Amino acid sequence: MLRFFYLNILTFISIGTLLSSCNSKSENFEIDLSNYKIPKKSIVKNLSQEPTASIEDKKFIKNKLINFKKSSEILNEVTIGKSDPFSKEGNEINKFNSILQLTGFLNTDHRKFAFVKYLNNQGTISEESIGGINTNLLPYGAKVININPINKKLSINFENKNYIFEMQE
């Protein structure tokens, strides 16, 4: 029964298509566009954009670029700190922090002292200590800035950088 129903629908569709194609061509579908107004092209300038640079300007800008330093040049400049700044490892402990260890403090009425270990040497340094000049417990040129026994901190200036050492409890 279902097959007969589908066969009838298919027959009606094919007959309808054949009859519609046999119509006369006199019935053309036309659209009247005489009242349609074509919009005029408007020129919109965006004042916020800067004018584009000419080719000469682009060449001038290109000449001002500075090349990056090679990694070997940067590695040679690093004396203290991470041995390879281009490595993917985490932050390494600064070499200066690893070779100088703060072990204690001594506070007297007149001066403050810090007990340190540096390159297998142990001793005390004061706020007047300068490495290589009056002590061998600091690297050459390192200068003690401040000794704070209350907060357990030692501040040292080395190669124009300030390092703060804290006493571990």
At residue 155, the 3 state secondary structure works out as strand
pLDDT for 145 beyond 90:
yes
Look at residue 118 and tell me if it is in a domain.
yes
The segment with the largest mean pLDDT, out of 15-24, 31-40, 50-59, 113-122, is 113-122
Query: Which domain does 123 fall in, by range?
Result: 95-166
Look at residue 29 and tell me if it is in a domain.
no
Q: What is the CATH number of the domain that holds 129?
A: 2.30.30.830
What single-letter amino acid sits at 76?
Answer: N
Look at residue 71 and tell me if it is in a domain.
no
Q: How confident is the prediction for the chain on average, in pLDDT?
A: 76
Mean pLDDT in residue range 24-45 = 72
125: burial class by Cβ within 10 Å (0-12, 13-18, 19+)? buried
Whether residue 52 contacts residue 63, with contact meaning beta carbons closer than 8 Å, is answered with no
Look at residue 65 and tell me if it is in a domain.
no
What pLDDT score does 125 carry?
A: 92
Write the Ramachandran bin of 81: left for phi over 0, alpha for psi from -120 to 50, otherwise beta. left
Position 115 confidence tier, pLDDT thresholds 50, 70, 90: very high
Look at residue 156 and tell me if it is in a domain.
yes
Look at residue 30 and tell me if it is in a domain.
no
Instruction: Report the domain count for the chain.
Output: 1
Give the predicted TM-score (pTM) of the model: 0.44
Whether residue 97 contacts residue 163, with contact meaning beta carbons closer than 8 Å, is answered with yes
Look at residue 160 and tell me if it is in a domain.
yes
pLDDT for 51 beyond 70:
no
